[in-house]
Amino acid sequence: MAKSAPMTEMQALRQYLEETNQDLAAARAGFDQTADQDLLEYYLYEINALRAKHTYLLRQMRSLERQAVP
């Protein structure tokens, strides 16, 4: 069985960003499909948290890109 090469930090950030995008899409779909007030509040909270995570991951990626440029 061949081992795969370990992910670089940038690859890991890209994977986390993709997972966050998928989670965000799921939260938005849940928000769109519910009428329950408590669930709407939950989805709003989750969407805001995921948007903050998305912004953080983008900042981390930009920081790594700047470090890579001499």
Six token digits for residue 5: 């090469």
pLDDT at 29: 98
Q: Which ranges of the chain does DSSP label H, i.e. alpha helix?
A: 9-32, 37-68
Hey, is 25 helix, strand or coil? helix
Averaged pLDDT in 10-residue chunks for the chain of 70 residues: 71 96 98 96 98 97 85
Q: Which residues contact 43 (CB under 8 A, 6 or more apart)?
A: 27, 28, 30, 31, 34
> What is the Cα–Cα distance from 67 to 37, expressed in whole angstroms?
45
Q: What angle do CA 5, 8, 9 make, to 5 degrees?
A: 155
pLDDT at 4: 63
Considering the entire predicted model, what is its pTM? 0.83
pLDDT at 7: 76
